[in-house]
Amino acid sequence: METMMKKWVLRAVKIALIATIAGAVFGFIVMSLWNWLMPAIFGWHAITFWQALGLVVLSKLLFGGFRGGHGHGGHWRKGMRERWEQMTPEQREELRKGLRGRCGHFGAAMTQPKTMDQPKEERS
């Protein structure tokens, strides 16, 4: 049990170290790019490393969030695909009608939906 605990502590230390190094590298890159480009292009002041790190965190929060992983929404999409594949054609049409009622019509794409039951080659 004690060796397993040591393994997890060591893993946590490694992850923290990698995250710290990655943060420092991104902060240095942002600081260098800012100090190279912004004063020359816009006449703005140079920034410090900590200001650059703050910009990295702010941009991550505003534009990317801290969700982690790849393909956000992939789990939801996979679940819907499995659910769709288990539906009968009547259930699929009923779902389409329900979605049209909630989301409205968006032109021909909604009147002629791409169906998931067709092979990829046949979809337009």
Residue 104 in this model has a pLDDT that exceeds 80: no
Confidence of residue 19 (pLDDT cuts 50, 70, 90): very high
Q: Alpha-carbon distance 123 to 118, whole Å?
A: 7
Residue pLDDT, tens place only, 49-83? 999 999 988 988 888 766 655 555 667 788 888 88
Residue 97 in this model has a pLDDT that exceeds 60: yes
Give the domain range for residue 36: 2-64
* Better-predicted residue by pLDDT, 97 or 121: 97
Q: Is residue 87 part of a domain?
A: no
pLDDT at residue 66, as a whole number: 60
Q: Is residue 97 part of a domain?
A: no
Q: Is residue 109 part of a domain?
A: no
Confidence of residue 12 (pLDDT cuts 50, 70, 90): very high
Based on the structure, what is the number of domains in the chain? Answer: 1
Query: Could you tell me the CA-to-CA distances from 41 to 2, 34, 38 in Å, in that order?
Result: 58, 10, 5
Query: For all residues of the chain together, what is the average pLDDT?
Result: 81
Q: Is residue 33 part of a domain?
A: yes
Q: Is residue 26 part of a domain?
A: yes
Stated pTM of the model: 0.50
φ/ψ (deg, to 5) at 33: -65, -45
Q: Is residue 76 part of a domain?
A: no
Q: Is residue 104 part of a domain?
A: no
Confidence of residue 2 (pLDDT cuts 50, 70, 90): confident
Q: Is residue 56 part of a domain?
A: yes
